[in-house]
Amino acid sequence: MSETATLRFASGEEIGLPVFTGGEGEKALDIEKLRAATGMVTLDEAYLNTASCRSAITYLDGEKGILRYRGYPIEELAEKSRFVEVAYLLMYGDLPIASQLDDFSAILNGSSLIHEDMRHFFLAFPNNAHPMSLLTTMVASLSAFYPVPENPTDEEEAQIIANLMSQVRTISAFSYKKFVGEPVVYPSHKLRFVENFLNMMFSSPVSNYQLDPDIVKAIEAFLIIHADHEQNCSTSAVRIAGSSLANVYAVISAGISALWGRRHGGANQAVVTMLRNIQQSGDDGRRFLEAAKSKDSRLMGFGHRIYKTHDPRALIMKKLCHRILGKPGMSDPMFDIAMRLEEAALSDDYFLSRNLYPNVDFYSGLILKAAGIPFDMFTVLFAIGRTPGWLAHWREMRHDANNRIARPRQIYTGPAERFYVPVSQREKHSVGVMRRSHTKALPVAPRDLISSSMDCG
């Protein structure tokens, strides 16, 4: 007999709620029939205690610091696997055999070019356009060049997935070239996914980019650990947009737009901004730590909304970060400040007692900076890594026989019913009066303000 929970009201009325048990033993109250039986809905602002779907893709336990893709620990995948292999795992449920991996790699390679006419779109953007603004726009516009059938076959679906995974990477590199005013570098069939991206970013007609195996490994791991993270803000945006059966390119563009928010995808930028501010102040970090204790400043890159112990992704990035920063030629005062902050925080009871361990963003920002990734491209790298996860959720939802359009409820807090009054009879003190004024152009925020982040979300 299935387990149920009893919801009892003050009036004495009771209702039984089925209890759903997940694959790792986690439990949820099934409230699907709550409104029909009681006329009530639940109120859970920001959905912090609400499971919006059933998914077989990623398991996350924040209390124990566990993250697994399709059952595989993130630590093993980051150490032993390739990003393309992990993308296949997320998409299709199992690690590929050799022939499957070869076929998947081949279709990704063959799909890496974007339609040449799209080059004109890049020319129309301002020279200083943020790469994320180009990425969201260009991904949405892909549907005009690569029309999606209303009911794609398995083969057509596989091609759509390959297009988006490869073309997000290409568009990202082209966006950077637009940003710095250099000619684009096309993808090469001779290079793997990560090497190809770095070559498109940094190679130019007047200089060859020398691939550093340690940098390649670090970026590979960065993409793997960001490939999925359960029902985060951007993944939820993908599922909500996808539930309307919107075009998949628009759906992924919605995810990119949500990721761009400073509470979500830009947290590693906030770490670099913090370190730069410390460096410019002449402090070695100690005064900043003391200020963080008194809440006069915020210690970016420490603690996490979900993980109440070590962030498993942070431990992976920490190892790679120390390897890269220990390489000859990587000397940077900002890196020295970061290492002192890390050492001081990990030996301070104030931070340890509050589970304020360095999170993935603390190390990933340092790795991207050391790899030469420009500040404004940090969130773009996040988007490249997260695209397979978004697509996996889109595919899972598409094949779910119970898939319905998302339609959350709300608790209305506005005025009760009222009736129209002619304008001549309305009192002057009515709420919401708009004063007449001349329209002025909005000021343009400094780039650092636009790019800064407050939380990893």
In a domain, 263, yes or no: yes
pLDDT tens digits for range 355-390: 888 889 888 988 999 999 999 999 999 999 999 999
- H or E segment at 17? strand 14-21
Q: Which domain holds residue 39?
A: 4-51
**Per-residue b or e along 216-231, where b marks 16 or more CB atoms closer than 10 Å to that residue's CB:** bbbbbbbbbbbbbbbb
Residues in the chain: 457
In a domain, 288, yes or no: yes
What CATH code is carried by the domain that includes residue 324? 1.10.580.10
| Residues 101 and 186 reside in one and the same domain | yes
In a domain, 16, yes or no: yes
Phi, psi of 61 (to 5 degrees): -125, 100
In a domain, 255, yes or no: yes
| Residues 315 and 180 reside in one and the same domain | yes
Q: Which residue has the higher pLDDT, 65 or 310?
A: 65
Phi, psi of 305 (to 5 degrees): -65, -35
User: What are the structure tokens assigned to 287, written together?
Assistant: 């005064």
In a domain, 73, yes or no: no
User: Given this model, what pLDDT does residue 298 score?
Assistant: 76
The mean of the pLDDT values for the chain is: 89
| Residues 286 and 333 reside in one and the same domain | yes
User: Given this model, what pLDDT does residue 434 score?
Assistant: 53
| Residues 313 and 374 reside in one and the same domain | yes
147 pLDDT above the threshold of 70? yes
Catalytic residue among 228, 311, 361, 376: 361
| Residues 38 and 150 reside in one and the same domain | no
CB-based contacts of 29: which residues, under 8 Å, 6+ apart? Answer: 5, 17, 18, 19, 20
| Residues 95 and 45 reside in one and the same domain | no
Q: What angle do CA 315, 382, 370 make, to 5 degrees?
A: 65
- Helices and strands in the chain: count of H runs, count of E runs: 19, 6
Whether 304 is catalytic is yes
430 falls in which pLDDT band (50, 70, 90)? low
CB 393 within 8 A of CB 57: yes
User: Given this model, what pLDDT does residue 428 score?
Assistant: 64
Q: How many domains does the chain have?
A: 2
| Residues 170 and 269 reside in one and the same domain | yes
Q: Which residue has the higher pLDDT, 320 or 442?
A: 320
| Residues 20 and 121 reside in one and the same domain | no
Over residues 140-153, the mean pLDDT reads 94
In a domain, 413, yes or no: no
pLDDT tens digits for range 79-135: 999 999 999 999 999 999 999 999 999 999 999 999 999 999 998 998 888 899 999
Amino acid at 293: K
User: Given this model, what pLDDT does residue 325 score?
Assistant: 86
433 pLDDT above the threshold of 80? no
429 falls in which pLDDT band (50, 70, 90)? low
Give CA–CA dist 127/178, Å, rounded: 7
Q: Can you spell out the DSSP letters for 172-201?
A: HHHHHHHHHT-------TTS-HHHHHHHHH
23 pLDDT above the threshold of 80? yes
| Residues 118 and 38 reside in one and the same domain | no
User: Given this model, what pLDDT does residue 112 score?
Assistant: 96
User: Given this model, what pLDDT does residue 445 score?
Assistant: 43
431 pLDDT above the threshold of 60? no
351 falls in which pLDDT band (50, 70, 90)? confident
Cross-strand pairs, 58: 69
| Residues 168 and 237 reside in one and the same domain | yes
User: Given this model, what pLDDT does residue 81 score?
Assistant: 97
Cross-strand pairs, 8: 14
341 falls in which pLDDT band (50, 70, 90)? confident
In a domain, 265, yes or no: yes
What CATH code is carried by the domain that includes residue 44? 2.20.28.60
337 falls in which pLDDT band (50, 70, 90)? confident
455 pLDDT above the threshold of 50? no
| Residues 18 and 146 reside in one and the same domain | no
pLDDT tens digits for range 161-202: 999 999 999 999 999 999 888 999 999 999 999 999 999 999
260 pLDDT above the threshold of 50? yes
pLDDT tens digits for range 265-306: 888 888 889 988 888 888 777 788 888 888 777 788 888 888
User: Given this model, what pLDDT does residue 451 score?
Assistant: 36
Query: Percentage of residues in the chain with pLDDT exceeding 70?
Result: 93
Catalytic residue among 226, 229, 264, 304: 304
In a domain, 423, yes or no: no
51 pLDDT above the threshold of 70? yes
| Residues 125 and 33 reside in one and the same domain | no
Whole-prediction pTM: 0.89
